[in-house]
Chain A
Amino acid sequence: MSEQALSSFGTDRARKRLRRRRAADRRFKWYGRAAIGFALAALALLLASIFSQALSAATYHVVSFRIDAGRVVAAENTSGALKEVYDQVRADLFEAFPDASGTPAGRQEVSALVTRLAALPIAERLRASPARRGMEQVSLPLSDDVDLYLKGAAARQVTINFGPVAAEPTEDGQGVRLSGAGAFARLIAAASLEHANVTDVSFLVTGGRSTVRLTRLSADEAEGSLIAGTASEFGNRALCARIILAPQSERTVSDRQIAWALALKADGRVRRVPHWSLLTHTDSTQPELAGALAAIVGSFLTLLVTASLAIPVGILASIYLEEFAPKNRLTSLIEVNINNLAAVPSIVFGLLGAAVFLGVMGLPRSAPIVGGLVLALLILPVVIIASRAALKAVPDSIRQGALAVGASRMQTVFHHVLPLAAPGMLTGAILGMARALGETAPLLLIGMVAFVADVPRGPGDEASALPVLIYSWATQAERAWEPMTGAVILILLAFLIAMNVAVVYLRHKFERRW
């Protein structure tokens, strides 16, 4: 368009102003897109970090054993059965790795592959059916340190596969000498990135179910001592070398334990399976045995108490305030205070719960009933505010229409206003519940952080809750808790997302236009 054509639509100044206005429009749009992009990126980053952390907890390694069930069933009590199972497991392991089982230290190292508590579910299961006899195949989780190593998450490590090389036993019979022209050059190259010192860095070479720890390494020849298996296994087969870049003294899992785990894996006795026990077990001191079941049930019971208190009270209060209460100084004071209450930090409600429910009323500590009461108080203002907003959104013409045909105030509200406000009220209630589900601080103060080994059977039992479980697992020192924490965060997120999806669905299904 030429300047001349434009000039008929306005002066230069007017067009300049218009350009500025358009630029402002465009700028604003881009600010908005940038803000949304930032929020989405932050969300994606959060989810990606949790997922990547939790991913390794989705599966874990179990070892299979053959157990004489009859001997376990014959035990007097559970702890006797536990001892019997664990003794058989240990005996099995000692038999598999006889060279380490000569010394008490060696036996302890072998036993550490499977923790004692891991035998408890087996012992309980076998005792539950006393008719069992004979040998049974059972699977026990590997100790968390070995499990983490097998998942490649523990020490920094490099794995290199190389083809068959010549192997011969050393003179003393305790070691193996491997030789092949230039076969180990890659190994040296990979290691020299960090260390070249054979004493600090473990070079483990595995063939079949046997492993040597290298003591000498050159490009054409390597020599090491056997830590598992026999020298004869190294000849004429593909070998795998692992360079573990952390010294043994700084690791929770020794070279020998790694070699044993690899041997069990080569036997097909170690398998990687889905980590269902995360959902079916209760909390434990051992990461490989711990699960979130008690916390899930605890959270459910807590929310049950919260919902049965906060939703009816909140909705009735909002109906009264919005539809019946006279608009005077008292009600506006109440309104201001409800809004203030919604902004009170949640930990203050925890203090209140500890002082009133535990101190004055003497309710049990760590119980969902107390947690539920505290959370109900916490979300009550949220529910009231959301419900009042939903009632306010119902047009006055509906109320007038109902009153004009002779409906009473109560009939007007319950026949006409409530059905229209219900989706909004429900949304508020569910969002309040979602907030209650994620609250940690008040529950810490009323003692729901306690270690709970049993699934709570009622709101009066000791229980934990999901966010509190996350808190307590995240503060544990052992590394295996880290992916477990991520997994529980995902469980919690799944519940929250389910609640929010329910909100969207209900709103779409029941929303009515007028």
Chain B
Amino acid sequence: MDGSAAGNEVVVTPEPAGTLALGDAPRMDCRNVNVFYSGKQAIFDVSLPIPDRSVTALIGPSGCGKSTFLRCLNRMNDTIEGCRVEGEIIMDGKDINSPVIDPVLLRSRVGMVFQKPNPFPKTIYENIAYGPRIHGLAQGREDLDEIVEKCLKRAGLWEEVKDRLTVPGTSLSGGQQQRLCIARAIAVRPEVILMDEPCSALDPIATARIEELIDDLRKRYCIVIVTHSMQQAARVSQRAAFFHLGKLVEMGDTDQIFTSPRDRRTEDYITGRFG
């Protein structure tokens, strides 16, 4: 709501994906992250810089901890009983796990889209307006209407729903619901959007629309996506990180990971030998 939210409004010319280098200052920098579930370790010493205005894909077999790691980034793990996170996750020079950071404020800057579309059982309008309203981002009704329209346009849903903003969000199709959830996430002006297998419940056509949308959103946001689909990771991401058994095995540019993986396990996984 302060400088960061205002900064988000500045339109930046998108960088072509290829120019992104490791040397750029990362939007979020994870250093030696360990996660424990009731004493059992799920993530081992993961260090991962996440660059801004690009898509970082977290890949790996089921149960490798990529979703758990994703949930560290907006402290959603706080809501899980007995979950403990160690290590530093730096955003704007501050550790997001430090007690001075309020998870509510953090989550307004780091939005999230879930595996199963979960719109609120309220109207389409309310789904989008809820976030800005509780964060006080809108002055008056017109302002709010504008935010709703802008977010729905960015999520590519405006043309489909502009005449029925008062129908329940749950009455939309699965793909539309997921785009509604993305619109809901960007309505609070986040800088980072976390996506936890956003297309795994959708058909190929809806998936293609979401992927287009992700590619479009990358111009404005830092996106971290967990996916099971190698093709999807190859299509949408610029950076990729391969997780295995809770450890970060390899990270790098997506092209490099998919064409010349350095680690044997990465190669086995992306060529379909396990997972």
Contacts and interface: CB of A to CB of B under 8 A. Distances in A.
A514 B121 CA distance: 6
B121 A513 contact: yes
A405 interface: yes
A131 B44 CA distance: 97
Contacts of B81: 326-327
Contacts of B121: 398, 419-420, 512-514
B79 A405 contact: no
A104 interface: no
A128 to B, nearest CB: 57
Contact of B79 (A403, A406, A513): A403
A398 B188 contact: no
B168 to A, nearest CB: 8
A401 B119 contact: yes
Nearest to B130: A405
A392 interface: no
Interface string A477-514: 00000000000000000000000000000000000111
Nearest to A402: B120
A405 B121 CA distance: 15
Consensus secondary structure, chain A interface? helix
Nearest to A407: B134
A503 to B, nearest CB: 21
Q: Which 5 A-B pairs have the closest CB atoms?
A: A406-B108, A397-B118, A404-B112, A405-B131, A406-B107
Contacts of B185: 404-405
Interface residues of B, number: 28
A408 B130 CA distance: 13
Contact of A406 (B113, B114, B131, B170): B131
Interface in A375-429: 395, 397-408, 411, 415-416, 419-420
B84 interface: no
Interface size range on A against B = 20 to 34
A404 B131 CA distance: 9
Contact of B105 (A395, A401, A406): A406
A407 B112 CA distance: 13
A406 B118 contact: no
6 contacts: A404-B76, A404-B112, A405-B111, A406-B134, A406-B188, A513-B170
Interface in B58-74: 74
A471 B20 CA distance: 85
A403 B118 contact: no
Given A397-B114, A415-B130, A405 B107 contact: yes
A408 B135 CA distance: 11
Which of B105, B130, B185, B187 has the largest count of A CB atoms less than 10 A from its CB? B130
Given A326-B81, A327-B81, A405 B188 contact: yes
A231 B110 CA distance: 107
B225 to A, nearest CB: 15
Nearest to A415: B130
B104 interface: yes
Nearest to A420: B121
A434 to B, nearest CB: 28
Interface in B99-143: 104-105, 107-108, 111-114, 116, 118-121, 130-131, 134-135
B170 A514 contact: yes
Nearest to A400: B114
Contacts of A404: 74, 76, 107, 111-114, 185
Contacts of B181: 401
Contacts of A415: 130, 134
A403 B104 CA distance: 8
A405 B108 contact: yes
B239 interface: no
B218 interface: no
A400 B114 CA distance: 9
B114 A403 contact: no
Contacts of A403: 76, 79, 107
